[in-house]
Amino acid sequence: MVKIIKIAVDLQGADRAPTELADGAFAALRDNKDLFLYLCGDRALLEEYMKNKGYSSERAEFVDAPETITNNEDPAEAFRIKKNSSLVKGMELCKSDPEIEGFVSCGPTGAIFVSAMMQLGRMANVSPMLLVELKKTDGSPICIVDCGANVDCRAEKLVDFARMGIAYMKAVGISDPSVGLLSNGAEDRKGSAVVKKANELLRESGLRFLGNVEGNGILSGNADVIVCDGFSGNILLKTIEGSAKAVIAELREMSAASNTDNDEIIRKLYSKYDHNTQGGAVLLGTKLPIIKGHGAATAETVYNIIKAAYRLAENDLADKIKNEFAPRTAALV
Amino acid sequence: MVKIIKIAVDLQGADRAPTELADGAFAALRDNKDLFLYLCGDRALLEEYMKNKGYSSERAEFVDAPETITNNEDPAEAFRIKKNSSLVKGMELCKSDPEIEGFVSCGPTGAIFVSAMMQLGRMANVSPMLLVELKKTDGSPICIVDCGANVDCRAEKLVDFARMGIAYMKAVGISDPSVGLLSNGAEDRKGSAVVKKANELLRESGLRFLGNVEGNGILSGNADVIVCDGFSGNILLKTIEGSAKAVIAELREMSAASNTDNDEIIRKLYSKYDHNTQGGAVLLGTKLPIIKGHGAATAETVYNIIKAAYRLAENDLADKIKNEFAPRTAALV
């Protein structure tokens, strides 16, 4: 008997229409025969769209939630008021059904965060944070933790982020992930007060800590997990994307000026550094992994982030996180 | 009568030999007939090299300073002990000769910083900081302030950085420079506690403040001056360079794989994003602008940073900074 992987999908709160995003969900269902999706949104609208498109799946169920939480609302306020939103109803379902192994949304990060904290609750004593996976120059994966959830934070939290990052990298197939601490210099004595303290704590942690890493040592460096607070991580992530796109724009211009056909190269580079074609950010630290797609998500994004959630469920990410935080006393005796 | 621009050059403390770096200084002298250089280093060595190379200039004077401060020393300790270093003797000369309008070095940033603070002293009440000028996608200049000098700092300092950045941009020809505050979101409410406070202060400052800018809005955005603390600024700067080089490396590989001749395009892109061919970092806030080249500097770097110091002196950067900090009461009456 094949195990079925159940994932809940919030189709609202992004820039594009829920029906457009639904295309990505149905594509994921077609490609993965052991996938079951709960699709949260305006049921009447979605059912009609599904009928018109000729989609059918025994492995999809609609969760009727006509309200939408947008990026223009105060997250806590929206959470309090909009109990019929796709986000809140989706999370409610996740809370009540322990078989659901992931939640996927392209809605506003703040509201997802509030909803996950309030409805699912945090795992152990960690502070939930956002992880983003990127590809290095050589094609191997790295992750950045935290990418924006914890803007001001204590050094101790950075060690928790490292542990969650390690669990994630194990779930994507890296056997003994190494950790680098984002700083303004490679030497241990470099960094803000918080970073210097985090360096000490990571040195004592027993984790495979390689030391500080700088902004120019991420995409071509050795660390699998890049640890930072949410402020620096957000700047790091957006700067990588922005700089790559700047170079690609210049390449496009120079190619046109010199009549060189670089269309295929440009397409490949762009897709590598474009948010929409990547796997999205992963909110870790609440009781369920949550995959957050970009607000400008397309059907392709939704397809990709459902696949990402599926892969993480398949590799028992939640268990791997628990293991990283399990007391190590037995091993020390 | 042509005004002579006098600049002091520290030839030691970088990775390469002082004689190699001296090539850049003599090239700058050849190209600028109103430039006078004080060359600080081992006089006997430099004079012999100059003789062997057939260099001659009435507009160069050697400052004998056989000692070198390296990146492996504690900056404050090195400053205290090595009074015969090219750095300390060069700064001493700058302090004693008010005609010198700039100091140039590729030595260790920390030691330059200590030496400038102790010997030249700070201008007004500002905290000295590092400015780096970059080119946007459209070729226009922007600057990042601070790029690494003030790792933990109060919001008030960020406003000072903005003023110094504005003075610098005026000196390089931007008439009414605008300011952006680096943050993890465009909205005023986004940011660390310090950044949120700095946003408020900048809104009240009377400067042309455009609001928060994100990491993906630097090279293609509207702000001329990007304000941040030295920790974030250092990460921003190095991430721009590292990401650009990652994309260029991928471009090189894809070009080889598809037999596309992109050599000229790659050379141009690389030189744009390479530290060595850029103008260096500018230490502002002490009584003299100091241009700091990368430790891996070549003769070309030295040529470029002397030219940068020359240009800033020509455009009265020091006066422009004083003006930005001058009390504005008269205008308010």
pLDDT on residue A2: 72
Ordered structural domains, chain B, with CATH: 1-124+285-333 (3.40.718.10), 135-275 (3.40.718.10)
How confident is the model at residue B157, as a pLDDT? 96
Q: Do A268 and B260 touch (CB under 8 A)?
A: no
pLDDT above 50 (res B249): yes
Q: Give me the pLDDT at residue B277, please.
A: 57
Element (H or E) spanning A47, and its range?
A: helix A43-53
ipTM > 0.85 (yes/no): yes
Q: Chain B contact for A260, CB < 8 A?
A: yes
User: B237: which chain A residues are within 8 Å (Cβ-Cβ)?
Assistant: 215
**CB-based contacts of A325, cutoff 8 Å, min separation 6:** A123, A124, A126, A160, A163
For range B237-264, the mean pLDDT: 95
Q: What is the mean pLDDT of residues A20-36?
A: 96
User: Which chain A residues in 285-304 lie under 8 Å from chain B, judged by CB atoms?
Assistant: none
Instruction: Centre a 10 Å sphere on the Cβ of residue B164 and count the other Cβ atoms it contains.
Output: 29
Residue in chain A closest to B149 (alpha carbons) equals: A184
- How distant is the Cα of A49 from the closest Cα of chain B, in angstroms? 35
Q: Which of A230, A238, A248 sits opposite B214 (nearest CB)?
A: A238
Take residue A223 and report the two structure tokens written for it.
């660390």
Residues of B within 8 A of A243 (CB-CB) are 219, 239-240, 243-244, 247
pLDDT at B275: 65
Confidence of residue A123 (pLDDT cuts 50, 70, 90): confident
B154: its two tokens: 């109060």
Nearest by CB: B265 against A185, A215, A254: A254
Res. A275 pLDDT band, cuts 50 70 90: low
* Helix or strand holding residue B62 (H, E): strand B60-64
**From the CA of B2, how many Å to the nearest CA of chain A?**
40
pLDDT of residue A278: 65
Residues 6+ apart with CB under 8 A from B205: B159, B162
Task: Determine whether the interchain pair A247/B248 forms a contact, defined as Cβ–Cβ distance below 8 Å.
Answer: yes
- Rounded to a whole number of angstroms, the distance from the CA of B273 to the nearest CA of chain A is 9
Confidence label for A30 from pLDDT (cuts 50, 70 and 90): very high
Average pLDDT, rounded, for chain A = 93
**B50-67 pLDDT, tens digit each:** 999 988 888 999 999 999
Q: Of chain B residues 111-140, which have a CB less than 8 A from chain A?
A: 136-137
Residue A246 touches chain B, beta carbons under 8 Å: yes
CA dist., res. A189 & res. B302, Å (int):
29
Give the number of beta-carbon pairs within 8 Å between A and B.
Answer: 163
Short-list B251, B51, B141, CA closest to A268:
B251
* Strand, helix or coil for residue B203: helix
CB contact under 8 A, A192 and B255: no
pLDDT at position A24: 96
The continuous run of DSSP H or E covering A38 comes out as: strand A35-41
Q: How far lies B96's CA from each of A248, B89, B100, B124, B290, in Å? A: 49, 11, 9, 19, 16
Taking alpha carbons only, the member of A280, A181, A269, A191 closest to residue A222 is: A181
Residue for token pair 């071509």? A220
Give the pLDDT band of residue B276 (cuts 50, 70, 90).
low
Predicted confidence at residue A125, as pLDDT, reads 80
Task: Point out the residue among B216, B231, B251 whose CB comes nearest to the CB of A238.
Answer: B216
The pLDDT of A39-58, averaged and rounded, is 92
Write out pLDDT tens, residues B113-151.
999 999 999 887 888 999 999 999 999 999 999 999 899
| Least Cα separation, residue B36 to chain A (angstroms) | 35
Residues above pLDDT 90, as percent of chain B: 85
In this prediction, residue A327 has a pLDDT band, given cuts at 50, 70 and 90, of confident
Residues of B in contact with A220 (CB under 8 A): 242, 245-246, 249
pLDDT, mean over chain B: 93
- Taking the Cβ of residue B218 and every Cβ of chain A, the question of whether any pair is shorter than 8 Å is answered with yes
The mean pLDDT value for A17-43 works out to: 96
| Alpha-carbon gap: B170 to the closest alpha carbon of chain A (Å) | 25
